[in-house]
Amino acid sequence: DTEVTQTPKHLVMGMTNKKSLKCEQHMGHRAMYWYKQKAKKPPELMFVYSYEKLSINESVPSRFSPECPNSSLLNLHLHALQPEDSALYLCASKAREGLEPQHFGDGTRLSIL
């Protein structure tokens, strides 16, 4: 069982829809991440929240909007996505800055029609 929970597991949406991905962890971790992974590629960093503040945005298009309502929750709001945004979206958390591994959720498989 993963300690980082992502919902939904699968999402199909049209290009005009608005949807949100949700991530939750109860390990007391203070850093949370969003990654995008395409088939046969490594996870690509999108956003990092540290102590509930956005600390890294890897030049992600504004149609992806992250939100960290509290230290346990991380959302990714989606609007006007393109077919090339279809991918696996992974959430991860880490206890603190420095030499610590990340803990990943099982991801949301997103398909844009």
Partner 1 sequence: DQQVKQNSPSLSVQEGRISILNCDYTNSMFDYFLWYKKYPAEGPTFLISISSIKDKNEDGRFTVFLNKSAKHLSLHIVPSQPGDSAVYFCAASPTGGFKTIFGAGTRLFVKA
Point out which span in 14-22, 67-75, 78-86, 91-99 binds partner 1 (CB under 8 A).
91-99
Short-list 77, 81, 34, CA closest to 58: 34
Q: Is 23 in the site for partner 1 (CB under 8 A)?
A: no
| Rounded CA separation 98/50 (Å) | 12
Helices (H), 18-57: none
- Among residues 41, 61, 82, 111, which is the contact residue for partner 1, using CB under 8 A? 41
Closest separation between CB of residue 42 and partner 1, Å? 4
Q: Is 45 in the site for partner 1 (CB under 8 A)?
A: yes
Closest separation between CB of residue 40 and partner 1, Å? 8
